[in-house]
Amino acid sequence: MNGGSGLVIVPSMLAADQSRLGEECRALAAAGADRVQWDVMDGRFVPAITVGPDVVAACRRVTDLPFEAHLMVEDPDEAAPHFVRAGCDLVIVHAEACRHLHRTLTGIRSLGARAGVALNPHTPVDTIAHVLDLTDLVLVMTVNPGFGGQEYLPAMEPKIAAVRAVIDRHGAPIELEVDGGITDVTIRRAAAAGAGVFISGSWLSRHPAGRAAAIAELRAAARQSIGARA
Ligand code: DX5
């Protein structure tokens, strides 16, 4: 696990072949993915409906690649325990779906998983100001949630930098993840702004040279930008 200091490439399972998810997890592990993200959508918080915990649990049985769950759901308190039991050791909830975010994060950690907070493009950084001691990852959405294949929002870069400053001031090893429209080009911008964990779905899965090449390219591009940041 990255622990807040490393560079992490996380393919999104949303872009995987949905008819072969177990094999896809194994192929992504072999291709060098650090972990994979399950985009969990309930058709209410976002229009689409995707995978449930049973699918994740079935894939858990065929790979030891770490799993994270990105809960784009109206009721994260209800959903989180199911995805921890299914084998996710990191559960990311949307601040916008949490009436009591402090309690929700406490609950995820009490289940033995790491807890992450996702911020939609409109949501201010201050939202996490009083829950940093309960947070293992902050996800700055670089698209509006609900669909793969969208355009990266460069307007989120000042927000990435602001979250980086908050995390560095806080001092604990909190990962800064970005999700949405991450390619070999946009990853450089997001890394330069302060991100260290990168979700990629469409670009990675469609790379003409395959997923290992895509992951290597993303890692090299991010490393260059992070190096220049230091
Ligand atoms: C949006 C999803 C997507 C997905 C990545 O709700 O979270 O961002 O994971 O999709 P791409 O990489 O295709 O933008």
What pLDDT does 4 receive? 44
What is the amino acid identity at position 9? I
Determine the atom of ligand 1 nearest the C-alpha atom of 37: 9
What pLDDT does 227 receive? 85
E strand segments, the chain: 8-11, 36-41, 67-72, 90-94, 114-119, 137-141, 175-179, 197-200
- Atom 5 of ligand 1 has which residue's CA nearest to it? 201
14 CA distance to ligand 1 middle (Å): 7
Q: What is the DSSP string of 136-166?
A: SEEEEESS-TT-SSPPP-GGGHHHHHHHHHH
46 CA distance to ligand 1 middle (Å): 12
**Structural domains in the chain plus CATH codes:** 13-179 (3.20.20.70)
Pocket probe mutation, ligand 1, options 67, 93, 139, 147, max atoms within 8 Å of Cβ: 147
12 CA distance to ligand 1 middle (Å): 7
Query: Residue 190: CB partners within 8 Å, gap ≥ 6?
Result: 142, 152, 157, 160, 178, 182, 198
What pLDDT does 187 receive? 98
Positive or negative CA dihedral for 96, 97, 103, 104?
negative
Look at strands 114-119 and 137-141 and give their pairing: parallel
Positive or negative CA dihedral for 35, 193, 173, 115?
negative
> How many C-beta atoms surround the C-beta of residue 127 within 10 A?
16
Positive or negative CA dihedral for 28, 138, 114, 85?
negative
Query: Per the confidence metrics, is the pTM higher than 0.95?
Result: yes
Q: Tens-digit pLDDT profile for the chain (230 aa)?
A: 344 447 999 999 999 999 999 999 999 999 999 999 999 999 999 999 999 999 999 999 999 999 999 999 999 999 999 999 999 999 999 999 999 999 999 999 999 999 999 999 999 999 999 999 999 999 999 999 999 999 999 999 999 999 999 999 999 999 999 999 999 999 999 999 999 999 999 999 999 999 999 999 999 999 999 988 86
Element (H, E) at 130: none
- The catalytic site residues sit at 39, 179
What pLDDT does 163 receive? 98
43 CA distance to ligand 1 middle (Å): 16
Phi, psi of 201 (to 5 degrees): -115, -80
Residues 95 and 134: their CA atoms lie apart, in Å, by 13
Query: Residue 54: CB partners within 8 Å, gap ≥ 6?
Result: 86
Q: How far is CA 59 from CA 10, 47, 53, 136, 141, in A?
A: 16, 24, 10, 24, 26
Residues 92 and 117: their CA atoms lie apart, in Å, by 5
In the chain, what is the straight-line distance between the N-terminal and C-terminal CA atoms, in Å?
Answer: 22
Q: Which residues line ligand 1 (CB under 6 A)?
A: 12, 14-15, 39, 70, 72, 143, 145-150, 179-182, 199-203
Query: Residue 144: CB partners within 8 Å, gap ≥ 6?
Result: 120, 121, 150, 180
What pLDDT does 228 receive? 84
Q: How far is CA 14 from CA 103, 145, 147, 230, in A?
A: 28, 12, 9, 33
